[in-house]
Amino acid sequence: MSDNVLKLIPVDPLYVPEASAQLEPTRLLALLVPEAEDVIVTVTDQVRFNELRYVWPAGFARFVLEVRNPDGDISDNYLFLISRILKCEIWKIWAHY
């Protein structure tokens, strides 16, 4: 079975929101896309490949909010709200595995 994953990442690939700001958007996404299998936060020590150019929107970041198999998309209004909570501009990246 394949998965569709919506990834919300900071425009600055090295930015990681404070721990206190990471939980609120996770809860919000769980409410916005209740049919999603999972909403998770990932934080890594390093980030690479950000200078590569792709046909489809792509990006890499130390901090990632993932929504697995949502039924729909996140509106720009909610994307803006999550961006305000995290205190950074974010990109929306779709991945299909």
CB 68 within 8 A of CB 34: no
pLDDT tens-place string over residues 57-87? 777 788 999 999 988 898 999 999 999 999 9
Considering only CA atoms, which of 52, 21, 23 is closest in space to residue 39? 23
pTM of the entire structure? 0.71
The residue type of 10 is P
Q: Residue 31 is part of which domain span?
A: 4-96
What CATH number does residue 89 fall under?
3.30.70.260
pLDDT tens-place string over residues 21-49? 999 999 999 999 999 999 989 898 876 66
What gap in Å lies between CA 42 and CA 91, rounded to an integer?
15
CB 47 within 8 A of CB 61: yes
Domain count for the chain: 1
Considering only CA atoms, which of 60, 44, 45, 46 is closest in space to residue 12? 60
